[in-house]
Amino acid sequence: MTRQRALITGASAGLGAEFAHQLAGLGKDLILVARREDVLQKLAQSLVDEFEVEVDVIPADLSLDVATSKLFADVQGRGLEVDYLINNAGAFGPDLLDDRDWPAQQRYIELMMTSVAGMCHHFIPAMVDRRFGRVLNVASVAGHVSLAGDTSYGPSKAYLIALSKGLAATLRGSGVKVLALCPGFTHTEFHDPEELAKMKRKSPSFLWYDADVVVREGLAALEKGKPVHISGRLYRLLVPVLKTRPGSWLMARFGVKREY
């Protein structure tokens, strides 16, 4: 029997590297995608050594508009089939109103939204033909709440939640399952930039989850066929509260105002 293969974007760090470990542990062959090829090659070698799976590395900058078409052509050129698609690459971005560099804004939108749509567009039809596929889009708790001051990151994650719900409903019964995984604060390289590192130092430790917990929960929810999964019991309790008036009052007390 041929082994299944997972393509993971943003596999060079954090949640993406953890997806690679856990899926390799489940015996899946892998295609690792990110910009830092040297880091991906090192990870690939360690996964081959530890799990005896096949690993392809394809460096790509997903903020470029040609990236997903090139990536799809590269995967096809290698004769590889993708059974699991993990759209995980992402970063904190420029503020839509404050940062006046529109080309940078467009690259951010490409990375956070258009590239995910592109990956789904390219890779899902073959999954439908084979009557098996798993697609996991890494969104965020931030995609569930509208906050004053968050005009880029949260809205991009809200799109991923809506996209995943629409795809999941459309593909019901096809053998292809789609999930938006919504983590809260997770220990990765995401908060390494100084501004975010400062916020991390100030926030209580109970708000922070480890990447292995988030990924394990995500893969289990994907298999169950849930369209959206908020990761972590604490965040499952918090999100409905943050959407209410008292919740927004509470957030305002911490210096973050919610829009109406």
Ligand X SMILES: NC(=O)c1ccc[n+]([C@@H]2O[C@H](COP(=O)([O-])OP(=O)(O)OC[C@H]3O[C@@H](n4cnc5c(N)ncnc54)[C@H](OP(=O)(O)O)[C@@H]3O)[C@@H](O)[C@H]2O)c1
DSSP letter string over 145-211?
Answer: S-BTT-SSHHHHHHHHHHHHHHHHHHTTTTTEEEEEEE--SEESSTT-SHHHHHHHHHS-GGG-EEH
For residue 154, the minimal CB distance to ligand X (Å) is: 10
d(CA 216, CA 221): 9
Q: Which two tokens stand for residue 199?
A: 């916020």
Query: What are the C-alpha distances in Å from 3 to residues 6, 35, 119, 189?
Result: 10, 26, 21, 31
Taking the least distance from each CB to ligand X, the nearer of 51 and 209 is 209
One residue of 138, 178, 230, 242 binding ligand X per CB under 6 A: 138
Shortest Å distance, C-beta 77 to ligand X: 19
Based on the shown chain and the rule CB under 6 A, indicate whether residue 140 belongs to the binding site for ligand X: yes
Are 191 and 197 in contact by the 8 Å Cβ rule? The answer is: yes
CB of 180 to ligand X, least distance (A): 11
Using the rule CB under 6 A, is 111 a contact of ligand X?
A: yes
Which of 33, 84, 23, 85 has its CA nearest to residue 63? 33
> Binding of ligand X at residue 61 (CB under 6 A)?
yes
Q: Does 62 bind ligand X (CB under 6 A)?
A: yes
Residue 20-59 contact track with ligand X, rule CB under 6 A, x = bound: --------------xxx--x--------------------
Report residue 217 as tokens. 């929960």
Q: Which stretch binds ligand X (CB under 6 A): 8-16, 47-55, 98-106, 171-179?
A: 8-16
Contact 164, 140 (CB under 8 A): no
Residue 174 Cβ, how far from ligand X at the closest point, in Å?
25
Please name every residue paired with 228 in a beta bridge, in sequence order, or none if there are none. Answer: 180
Q: Binding of ligand X at residue 216 (CB under 6 A)?
A: no
Q: How far is the CB of 81 from ligand X (least distance, A)?
A: 22
Does the footprint of ligand X cover residue 68 (CB under 6 A)? no
Pairing relation of β-strands 29-34 and 5-9? parallel
Closest contact distance (angstroms) between CB of 64 and ligand X is 8
Taking residues 158 to 197 in sequence order and writing x for each that binds ligand X by CB under 6 A, - otherwise, the string is -------------------------x-xx-xxx-------
Residue with Cβ nearer ligand X (5 or 157): 157
- Report residue 134: phi and psi, to 5°: -135, 125
Residue 128 or 213 having the CB closest to ligand X: 213
Among candidate residues 84, 108, 153, 209, the one labeled active-site is 153
Could you identify the residue written with the tokens 């839509």?
Answer: 96
Whether 153 is a known active-site residue: answer yes
Sheet holding 55-59, edge to edge: 55-59, 29-34, 5-9, 84-87, 133-138, 176-182, 228-230
Q: What single-letter DSSP state applies at residue 162?
A: H
CB 180, CB 158: distance < 8 Å: no
- Positions annotated as catalytic residues are 153
> Residue numbers of the site for ligand X (CB under 6 A)?
9-16, 34-36, 39, 60-63, 88-91, 111, 138, 140, 183, 185-186, 188-190
